[in-house]
Amino acid sequence: MGSLLADRTAVVYGAGSIGGAVARAFVREGARVFVASRGEAALKELAHDVESAGGSLVTAQVDAFDRDAVEGFLDSVAERAGGPDISFCATSTRRPGGAQGSALGELSYEDFALPIVDFTRAQFTTANAAAARMVPNGRGVIMMATAAPSRVPFPYTAGFGPAWAAVEAFARTLAAELGPAGVRVLGLHSAGSPDAQRSVETTLATDLPELPARAAGWQERAAARNLLGRWPSLADVGNMAAFMASDLAAVSTGTTVDLSAGMVAV
């Protein structure tokens, strides 16, 4: 086990690809980790994987869109382990879909707005609940998952680009408000991990005949901007989250950490 996060209590919302990778990294670096998710099966799978590797974490079925549920979850965390010192939210939309692959003119407003409403609601709810507990302690780190279309123009990504852009703007504003109290706020910006394909597929308009050609266009556009010739693995995402949550990154706040292999910088 590492020690970057020794004696810290971390909460992670989402037990899927990114949330699971971050939780594993936090456990490895010595944090007391609590993972909340709507899906029981994903929580059980994550707990089993962590325990099989010699670690431990606590899981709870919590809807990150429900403020009362989040407050109750954090109260239980505080009773058991103190904190939280770290909050990381990687939740997705409330229902499968979001129509990635569709042109904006092919979407209903409801499908366009779904990721914008859901991403901002989950991040707003979990971040503010964490901040209310961190500010009195004079320290804490709040992190939010975003992705490349927040800054790089990708066609056919529906409302996801605006959703991630809104999350990043929210993180910067919250960082400005919480900085004087010693609480840092960061985005974690990934270009997408090859080993997270299952999560990607849940947001696609799979019944769209044009989807294969449009997806191939995404890959070509991304590859042309990739400076390293490889994409971030889920382990890379978890490692960066652990580092940014640690005291080694103590003066980083109000920014979005780049995990795009240089794609965003081009």
Which candidate, 1, 138, 114, places its Cα nearest to that of 57?
Answer: 1
- The pLDDT value given to residue 152: 84
Residue 97 in this model has a pLDDT that exceeds 60: no
Domain count, the chain: 1
Domain that residue 171 falls in: 9-259
User: How do residues 185-244 score in pLDDT, each as one tens digit?
Assistant: 999 988 778 777 666 667 777 788 888 888 888 788 888 888 998 889 999 999 999 999
Task: Tell me which H or E stretch contains 58.
Answer: strand 58-61
Backbone angles phi, psi at 89, to 5 degrees: -115, 120
pTM for the whole structure:
0.93
Strands 255-259 and 86-89, by their bridges, are: unpaired
In a domain, 1, yes or no: no
Task: Tell me which H or E stretch contains 21.
Answer: helix 17-28
Q: What percent of the chain has pLDDT over 90?
A: 68
In a domain, 265, yes or no: no
In a domain, 239, yes or no: yes
How far apart are alpha carbons 255 and 251 in whole angstroms?
Answer: 11
**Domain containing residue 100: CATH number:** 3.40.50.720
Is 217 or 43 the better-scoring residue by pLDDT? 43
In a domain, 3, yes or no: no
Using omega within 30 degrees of 0 as the cis cutoff, is the peptide bond preceding 84 cis? yes
Structure confidence at residue 265 as a pLDDT band (50, 70, 90): low
- The pLDDT value given to residue 220: 86
Cα angle 9-15-17, degrees, rounded to a multiple of 5:
115
Q: How many CB atoms lie within 10 A of CB 187?
A: 26
Is 123 or 190 the better-scoring residue by pLDDT? 123
Residue with tokens 């059980």, as numbered in its chain: 44
Residues in CB range of 253: below 8 A, 6 or more apart: 175, 179, 184, 185, 186
Backbone angles phi, psi at 187, to 5 degrees: -100, 155
In a domain, 155, yes or no: yes
Residue 98 in this model has a pLDDT that exceeds 60: no
Count the helix, strand and coil residues of the chain and give each as a percent rounded to the nearest 5. 50, 15, 35
CA 175 to chain centre: 17
How far apart are alpha carbons 213 and 217 in whole angstroms?
Answer: 6
Q: What is the mean pLDDT of the chain?
A: 91
Structure confidence at residue 1 as a pLDDT band (50, 70, 90): low
Residue with tokens 């409801």, as numbered in its chain: 110
Supply the angle between the helices 160-178 and 109-134 in degrees, to the nearest 10: 20
Compute the average pLDDT of residues 30-40: 95
- The pLDDT value given to residue 132: 98
Give 129-160 as a 3 state SS string: HHHHHHHHHCCEEEEEEEEHHHCCCCCCCCCH
How far apart are alpha carbons 244 and 64 in whole angstroms?
Answer: 23
In a domain, 192, yes or no: yes
